[in-house]
Amino acid sequence: MHNEYPGGILRHAAASFGAGMKVAVAMSGGVDSSTAAHLLKAQGHDVVGLSMQMYDNLAKADSPYGGCCTIDDLADARRVAWKLEVPHFTLNMESNFHDKVIKPFVRGYLSGVTPSPCVLCNTHVKFDLFHQKARAIGAEKIATGHYARITVGEDGRFELRKARDLAKDQTYFLFELTQAQLSEALFPLGDLTKPEVRDIAESAGLNVARKKESYEICFVPQKEGYGAIVEREAGIDPGSAAGEIVDTAGNVLGTHDGYYNFTIGQRRGLRIGGSLERSYVVDVNPFTRRVTVGPSSALERSELIAERVLWISGDTPAGPIEVQGRVRSRMPDVRATVFPLADGRARVVFAQKLRGVAPGQAVVFYQDDLCLGGGWIARE
């Protein structure tokens, strides 16, 4: 096993961790989690690879899923574990994943909001249920291939910080992690760039070193799209949730086959004929089944209400706090002021107008590279 890489990459990655712990690594079969397992093994930790079977791949063999955790991915994870000479087990998380991620995903679209299943998966599956399984085998820490960093502040509290590779940073999806969860988690890739991770994997002889990444929702079939998941789970006959497409004045412009097929900011799939101006979805009403469209200016908002707000430090600010806010995972941070409200809610006022603020998505708060926490954009 190689312990050195050009530029001392492994030494740099190892600097934050002591050696000799039993660490359960969530191995998805991709290059990131595989490299995380390799780094921890090279640092002298007692590594156990745990892969999660999230859904029944065989039952939908004629409709391949769009992301991770496929049968091939689980096989890749086993091969990497064999190469690293670490024990590997597959956990059947299908029922848990269905209850914690797929059901809320479906409820979200049926309620006219845009869910964020990756946040739910991290919060309720990877850093909760998976963590419980890891503890059951005596693991002191869990590790994942997320691009994020954990530091300890002067007050002894754990801090979630952006990854060195900002293009790959995944703290947006981790904003609900608590002090207890951060205290028992490791992110070995936080100080590495994606090219460095691939180089490490290649040097270690891992067959996934150049494996292609997927940016799709893992349980959504590529051929069918998420609408098929909603119909199947909710027992909806195709077309039974059809309705009108209207403009902001209420004028009927066309029809649709199901309001749950539309999200705020969407432009494609609108059957409304030719128009001199591009039209976007600006509202989805599950009660009237109307989808409202309008110009891009109709999407602009400078404030929102967030609910179920979590502050990673554990303390809610006593008053307004200046932050940088992000309302989509791949959107840039924007200066904002957060006004804490009662019942775990907050009013967030941005320094500029934003487009595509969608109820159901997360709004995450930062101060430079420090992730303070966040909440869920409410439907007002």
Residue 356 pLDDT greater than 90, yes or no: no
- Give the pLDDT confidence of 283-314 residue by residue, as tens digits: 999 999 999 999 989 999 999 999 999 999 99
Question: What three-state secondary structure class fits 263?
Answer: coil
> What confidence tier does 380 reach under pLDDT thresholds 50, 70, 90?
confident
What is the chain's percent helix, strand, coil content, to nearest 5?
Answer: 30, 30, 45
CA distance 23 to 174: 20
CA distance 163 to 186: 13
> What confidence tier does 218 reach under pLDDT thresholds 50, 70, 90?
confident
Active site residues: 121, 218
Which of 237, 266, 234, 222 lies closest to 110 in space, CA to CA?
234
Q: Which residues contact 280 (CB under 8 A, 6 or more apart)?
A: 265, 266, 267, 293, 294, 295, 296, 298, 299
Domains of the chain by residue range: 6-203, 238-298, 300-377
CA distance 319 to 97: 37
Q: Which amino acid is at 152?
A: V
Task: State the pLDDT at residue 266.
Answer: 87
Task: State the pLDDT at residue 270.
Answer: 75
- Give the pLDDT confidence of 228-261 residue by residue, as tens digits: 888 888 899 888 899 999 999 999 998 999 999 9
The answer to whether 279 touches 295, Cβ cutoff 8 Å, is: yes
Half-sphere exposure of 36 (CA within 13 A, CB side): 30
- Give the pLDDT confidence of 11-61 residue by residue, as tens digits: 334 444 556 899 999 999 999 999 999 999 999 999 999 999 876 654 554
Please name the fold of domain 6-203: Rossmann fold (3.40.50)
> What confidence tier does 69 reach under pLDDT thresholds 50, 70, 90?
low
The answer to whether 282 touches 264, Cβ cutoff 8 Å, is: yes
> What confidence tier does 68 reach under pLDDT thresholds 50, 70, 90?
low
CA distance 17 to 370: 20
Q: Which residues contact 336 (CB under 8 A, 6 or more apart)?
A: 322, 323, 324, 325, 348, 349, 350, 351, 365
Residue 65 pLDDT greater than 70, yes or no: no
- Give the pLDDT confidence of 318-339 residue by residue, as tens digits: 999 999 999 998 899 999 999 9
User: Per this entry, what is the length of the chain?
Assistant: 380
Q: What is the CATH code for 238-298?
A: 2.30.30.280
Question: What three-state secondary structure class fits 222?
Answer: coil
- Tokens matching residue 242: 């059809």
Residue 221 pLDDT greater than 80, yes or no: no
Between residues 233 and 268, which one has the greater pLDDT? 233
Q: Decide: residue 10, CB within 10 A, 0-12 exposed, 13-18 middle, 19+ buried.
A: buried
Q: Is CATH 3.40.50.10310 what the domain over 300-377 is classified as, yes or no?
A: no
The model carries a pTM of 0.87
Q: Which residues pair with 90 in a beta bridge?
A: 51
Q: Which residues contact 321 (CB under 8 A, 6 or more apart)?
A: 337, 338, 340, 365, 372
The answer to whether 327 touches 354, Cβ cutoff 8 Å, is: yes
Residue listed under structure tokens 């200016």: 297
Which of 137, 134, 50, 53 lies closest to 92 in space, CA to CA?
53
Task: State the pLDDT at residue 13.
Answer: 41
- Give the pLDDT confidence of 178-192 residue by residue, as tens digits: 999 999 999 999 999
